[in-house]
């Protein structure tokens, strides 16, 4: 969610409550190319009080106003590994989001972040924030490289990217730190991307989770994964344990 009117902010598809905020990269390379994830909450005051009671350091609640927009109350915090997260008051009015009929319909369904200490991060996201397991798997069946935890009141998820080496180069960091856009039809998404002038470097494929997906990369090398909402075959490694997102 865009809290700074000086940044470039883009709404995603027809879902006006989802945005991608582009900001200048830090002068010091932290390896975290996904700088912040924002979650909506029904009661911003109660959420902040709850997190503080659990020992989480949180900023004061703010409400930004600019000539271009009025943004709801929000505050910031950090997870155990220092990833910036923020919480915003869920819109009190219904979003004019028509039922998607276009196969090119997109919405954000997950964000991927590099994780080193899985137990600490799972404690924070599961035990404190109430996220629930969705799926976990790896490049081989012997160990996990990805752990997906869904928000407690929806189907979007955070994906822990495990086993990323400390000396990972910019290319690998761009692959690990990513966002995923849910699509109805991966072939229709590919066709639209080509129509839009995107130079694709990969073809659609079925990932280890059993879903069709297509990776593209922005000019800085950060990955944007287009992924169908539901699997077309049995996933590797584990079953899905929560509902799939829907368009």
Q: What is the pLDDT of residues 219-245, one digit of tens each?
A: 888 999 999 999 999 999 999 999 999
> Are both 47 and 141 inside the same structural domain?
no
Count of CB atoms within 10 A of residue 126's CB? 14
- Please give the pLDDT value at position 22: 77
Helices (H), the chain: 44-53, 118-122, 170-176, 186-195
Closest alpha carbon to 52 in 63, 61, 41: 61
Specify whether 150 is located in the same domain as 222: yes
105 by Cβ neighbours in 10 Å (0-12 / 13-18 / 19+) ranks as buried
Pick 74 or 26 by higher pLDDT: 74
Model confidence at 93, in pLDDT bands (50, 70, 90)?
Answer: very low
In percent, the amount of the chain with pLDDT more than 70 equals: 83
For 127, half-sphere exposure in the C-beta direction (CA atoms, 13 angstrom radius) is 10
State the residue range of the domain holding 66.
8-89
The answer to whether residues 152 and 191 belong to one domain is yes
φ/ψ region of 120 (left if φ > 0, alpha if ψ in -120 to 50, else beta) reads: alpha
235 lies in some domain: no
- Asked whether 150 and 131 are in contact (CB, 8 A), the reply is yes
The reported pTM is: 0.88
pLDDT digits (tens, 9 = 90+) for 63-80: 865 544 445 789 999 999
What's the number of domains the chain is made of? 2
pLDDT tens digits for range 195-206: 999 999 999 999
Strand partners of residue 228: 183
Answer whether residue 13 shows pLDDT above 80.
Answer: no
CATH for 47:
3.10.180.10
Strand duo 36-41 + 223-228: pairing: unpaired
Domain annotation covers residue 240: no
From residue 116, give the alpha-carbon distance in Å to each of 157, 211, 236: 18, 26, 22
Compare 50 and 11 and report the one with higher pLDDT: 50
For residues 138 and 203, state if they share a domain: yes
* 247 occurs within a structural domain: no
Which residues are CB-neighbours of 9 under 8 A, at least 6 positions away?
2, 19, 20, 21, 22
Q: Which of 54, 89, 124 is the last residue of a domain?
A: 89
């Amino acid at each position: 969610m865009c809290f700074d009117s000086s940044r470039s902010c883009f709404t995603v598809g027809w879902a006006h409550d989802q945005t991608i905020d582009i900001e200048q990269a830090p002068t010091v390379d932290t390896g975290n190319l996904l700088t912040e994830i924002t979650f909506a909450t029904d009661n911003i005051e109660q959420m902040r009080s709850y997190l503080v009671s659990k020992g989480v350091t949180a900023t004061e609640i703010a409400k930004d106003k600019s000539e271009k927009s009025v943004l709801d109350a929000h505050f910031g915090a950090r997870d155990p590994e220092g990833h910036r997260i923020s919480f915003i008051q869920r819109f009190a009015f219904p979003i004019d989001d028509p039922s998607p009929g276009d196969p090119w319909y997109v919405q954000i369904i997950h964000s991927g972040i590099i994780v080193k200490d899985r137990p600490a991060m799972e404690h924070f996201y599961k035990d404190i924030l109430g996220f629930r397991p969705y799926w976990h798997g790896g490049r081989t069946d012997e160990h996990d490289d990805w752990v997906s935890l869904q928000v407690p009141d929806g189907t979007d998820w955070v994906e822990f990217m495990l086993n990323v080496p400390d000396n990972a180069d910019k290319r690998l960091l761009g692959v690990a730190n990513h966002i995923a856009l849910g699509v109805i039809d991966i072939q229709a998404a590919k066709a639209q991307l080509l129509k839009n002038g995107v130079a694709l470097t990969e073809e659609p494929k079925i990932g280890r989770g059993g879903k069709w997906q297509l990776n593209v990369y922005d000019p800085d090398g950060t990955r944007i994964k287009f992924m169908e909402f539901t699997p077309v075959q049995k996933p590797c490694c584990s079953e899905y344990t929560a509902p799939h997102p829907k368009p």
